[in-house]
Amino acid sequence: MIFVDTGAWFASIVPSDSDYSVASQWLLQNTEPLLITDYVIDETLTLLRMRREQQRAIALGEAFFSGRLSSIYYLTDEDIRTTWQIFRQFSDKAWSFTDCSSKLVVEKLNISLAFAFDNHFRQFGSVKVLP
């Protein structure tokens, strides 16, 4: 299973993004199951809307919630409390709360691969970043 971060989803559907070619090509060629969290969905759809990509946000949201693109992991109350601990513990990093929740999920589920353009995933030290 491969965890997919916000930046990778964004880059894969917005042609003006500098990583569009790499991201869209990688997604087309990937055959492994993908995982996303509800927090990454929130961050991705919000980013698209803020960048005036409303139609792409709706289309991607439809694909997320239909299950066509990936499985969704929904954070539990305990996961959120642990994410808060990670957020506080790594205050020297520029990790968003969503990044911290992603760190929790990849470690909790023993996921070793992440499709991401965010350098924060490299800082986690527990996943290999693709592509």
Distance CA 1, CA 39 (A): 18
Summarize the confidence of residues 102-119 as an average pLDDT: 96
Q: With beta carbons less than 8 A apart as the criterion, state whether 128 and 110 touch.
A: no
- CATH C-level class of 2-130: alpha beta
Q: Which 8-state DSSP code applies to residue 109?
A: T
Residue 36, strand partner residues: 72
Tell me the pTM. 0.94
Confidence of residue 118 (pLDDT cuts 50, 70, 90): confident
Q: Which of 22, 29, 23, 26 is nearest to 8 (CA)?
A: 23
Burial (0-12, 13-18, 19+ Cβ within 10 Å), 67: exposed
- Measure Cα distances from 31 to 85, 121, 129 in Å: 34, 21, 16
pLDDT in tens, 20-73: 999 999 999 999 999 999 999 999 999 999 999 999 999 999 999 999 899 999
In which element (H, E) is residue 54 found? Answer: helix 54-66
